[in-house]
């Protein structure tokens, strides 16, 4: 499993879907929003948590089509299907590799980029915590979408259409945690809901992804 994880990390970086692409997109979104809504600091402070969450979500979406496509193209996926490691373990490792190369850098960068949006000081910690809890769900759900479209040519648009509705609950509760943290309100309810969504996705989605992959490989 460790060897597969290291291999996927190297592939993600070499294929251009790793650290740089997601962070660059995240930075572009953060920089462009003040130009679009104006320089009013009060307005930027109010929308900053939601903007950071939307930017992180879209940045995660950028590299999803590469999670399984490279293995499908070179035949590695067929070999992995015959390996002693269960298919559920394989897709879990691939989701973990996606989170390490895409989600984790976004979690670390979000509080820093929040300065550009005049994010309140009280919200920095909650933005970090909400993204740390929510981005694993984005990677696991995205891996399920990648499994659905792995055999399709130019399936990137279809992947986005399939995955984005599944991302909505994570976005709602993640942004709500950050917003309530910024306003000094209680965050327990949305925080628990966000943690529950991530835990449920981590528990169920690998089995769904493995079942879809078995069908596609027949």
Residues 6+ apart with CB under 8 A from 13: 19, 101
Please give the DSSP secondary-structure letter assigned to residue 214: H
> What are residue 153's phi and psi, to 5 degrees?
-80, 135
**Do the beta carbons of residue 76 and residue 105 sit within 8 Å?**
no
* Res. 20: pLDDT tops 80: no
Q: What is the pLDDT of residues 153-200, one digit of tens each?
A: 766 778 888 899 999 999 999 999 999 998 888 999 999 999 999 999
Find the mean pLDDT for residues 116-138.
Answer: 93
Rounded to an integer, what distance in angstroms lies between the CA atom of residue 90 and that of residue 77? 10
**pTM (2 d.p.):** 0.89
Mean pLDDT of 17-24: 73
pLDDT above 70 as % of the chain = 95
How far is it, in rounded angstroms, from Cα 107 to Cα 50?
14
Integer Cα distance of 184 and 178 in angstroms: 10
The C-alpha atoms of residue 160 and residue 158 are separated, in whole angstroms, by 5
Q: Residue 114 carries which DSSP code?
A: G
The mean of the pLDDT values for the chain is: 87
User: Tokens 């659905």 label which residue?
Assistant: 148
Count the residues in the chain. 218
Q: Which among 106, 137, 111 has a CA at the least distance from the CA of 125?
A: 111
DSSP string, 149-180: TTTSTT-HHHHHHHHHHHHHHHHHHHHHHHHH
């Amino acid at each position: 499993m460790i060897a597969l994880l290291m291999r996927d990390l190297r592939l993600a970086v070499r294929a251009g879907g790793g650290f740089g692409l997601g962070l660059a997109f995240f930075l572009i979104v953060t920089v462009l929003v003040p130009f679009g809504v104006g320089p009013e600091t009060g307005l930027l402070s109010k929308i900053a948590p939601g903007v950071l969450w939307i930017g992180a979500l879209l940045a995660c979406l950028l590299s999803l089509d590469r999670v399984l496509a490279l293995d499908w193209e070179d035949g590695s996926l067929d070999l992995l299907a015959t390996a002693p490691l269960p298919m559920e373990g394989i897709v879990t490792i691939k989701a973990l590799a996606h989170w390490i190369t895409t989600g984790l850098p976004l979690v670390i960068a979000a509080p820093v980029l929040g300065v550009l949006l005049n994010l309140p000081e009280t919200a920095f910690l909650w933005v970090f915590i909400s993204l740390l809890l929510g981005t694993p769900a984005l990677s696991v759900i995205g891996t399920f979408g990648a499994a659905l479209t792995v055999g399709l040519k130019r399936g990137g648009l279809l992947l986005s259409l399939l995955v984005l509705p599944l991302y909505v609950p994570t976005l709602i509760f993640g942004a709500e945690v950050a917003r309530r943290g910024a306003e000094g309100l209680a965050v327990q309810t949305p925080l628990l809901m966000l943690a529950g969504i991530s835990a449920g996705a981590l528990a169920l989605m690998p089995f769904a992804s493995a079942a879809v992959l078995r069908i596609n490989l027949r």
